[in-house]
Structure 1
Amino acid sequence: MAFKATNIRAASVDLARKKAAVQALNIRNEAVSAAPVDTGRLRQSIGLQRRSPDVWRVGTNVNYAPFVEFGTRHQAAQPFMRPAFEKVMNRG
């Protein structure tokens, strides 16, 4: 059976979209496990949102998350999102 170039392209796009979804889910899972816990609100707020067929958003809507991630002059940084991203992306 011969494959047309369009079939191969469509299969490649589908595979790339599936890989992006899996990576986004893995980043979310790593961030959840790495997030510091006081009340558990930050950890529970980490979610995954599909923005388009090719784009996923992993993040939190908790307003104090950037202060935890980057720290303040009164509190040391406790990064959880950036390390999660780097860990998953380095896995390949």
Structure 2
Amino acid sequence: MSNKPETPAAQIEAEEFAKQAVQQYLNACRMSNRNQMGNYLMKLCSVAGVMMALAEGSEDAAQRLEATAAFIRRKMPDTPARMEPLQ
């Protein structure tokens, strides 16, 4: 057993962890229908944004969230996607 710390997760690994965490979170929220998903995901984004601001400062956190919003506007479809069950 080595005392060396593990290296930080690569971006692709972190993205997979994030997807798994979101799926677990939505399952834990016990949605009764898909129309509730936006509200639960907004709560998750809100909490993550506050945590980011605490970790890096409010200006950096706001810039990151604004860049994410701009990406969503440019790259994501205008209408909701047909989503498969999360479980």
TM-score (norm 2): 0.34
Q: Which has the higher contact order (CA 8 A, sep 6+)?
A: 1
TM-score (norm 1): 0.33
Higher strand share: 1
Higher helix share: 2
